[in-house]
């Protein structure tokens, strides 16, 4: 089942799953206004078509001992495609880097790094990130607090119908 155009039910399914990935199919169907079997078919189709990439638990980093979040702005010597891909592959191998975005402008990448403390971050910075191949410069900013942390996309059902 390939979706060319979403209907109101698809948007509801996406919203409720984004809000609560552990919702049962029966609850999801009820909230979406359909019965369970077609709801399950729609969810599977949305997964197969790549609209739903997966399900995860939203862990409390600070409660788990990861009290430091740092954003690193990375400039590269070369922006040739093979050099960008090599850097992206290296970044993917670093567990402390939780998010990475390639940017346009004077910064090539911004990395979100989560560490247990300043010592762990500094060790990562000086032994892995800064000396990495093709890295020209790194500027870092330590976060003071998180004011907003919304996952997913802004699904306003009324605007999407």
User: Given pLDDT bands bounded at 50, 70 and 90, which one contains residue 156?
Assistant: confident
pTM of the model: 0.86
User: Given pLDDT bands bounded at 50, 70 and 90, which one contains residue 161?
Assistant: very low
At 19, list the tokens.
């809000």
Residues 73 and 136 in one domain: yes
Residues 75 and 134 in one domain: yes
Closest CA to 137 of 88, 81, 76, 85: 76
Q: How far apart are CA 69 and CA 146, in angstroms?
A: 9
Residues 73 and 130 in one domain: yes
Of the ranges 48-62, 81-95, 106-120, 123-137, which one carries the lowest mean pLDDT score? 48-62
Q: What is the CATH number of the domain that holds 42?
A: 1.10.10.10
Q: What is the mean pLDDT of residues 42-63?
A: 94
Residues 79 and 132 in one domain: yes
- Domains: count for the chain: 2
The residue range of the domain holding 124 is 68-142
Q: What is the CATH number of the domain that holds 82?
A: 3.30.70.920
Residues 43 and 79 in one domain: no
- Beta-strand relationship, 109-115 and 68-76: antiparallel
């Amino acid at each position: 089942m390939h979706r060319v155009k979403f209907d109101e039910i698809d948007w509801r399914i996406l919203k409720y799953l984004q809000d609560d990935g552990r919702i049962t199919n029966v609850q999801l169907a009820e909230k979406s206004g359909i019965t369970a079997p077609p709801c399950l078919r729609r969810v599977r189709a949305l997964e197969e078509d790549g609209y739903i990439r997966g399900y995860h638990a939203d862990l409390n980093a600070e409660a788990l001992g990861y009290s430091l979040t740092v954003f690193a702005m990375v400039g590269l010597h070369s922006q040739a495609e093979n050099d960008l891909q090599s850097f992206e592959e290296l970044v993917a191998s670093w567990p402390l880097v939780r998010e990475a975005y390639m940017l346009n402008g004077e910064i090539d990448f911004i990395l979100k790094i989560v560490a247990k403390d300043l010592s762990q971050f500094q060790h990562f910075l000086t032994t892995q990130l800064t000396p990495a191949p093709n890295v020209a410069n790194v500027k870092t900013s330590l976060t003071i607090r998180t004011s907003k942390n919304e996952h997913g996309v802004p699904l306003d059902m009324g605007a999407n119908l």
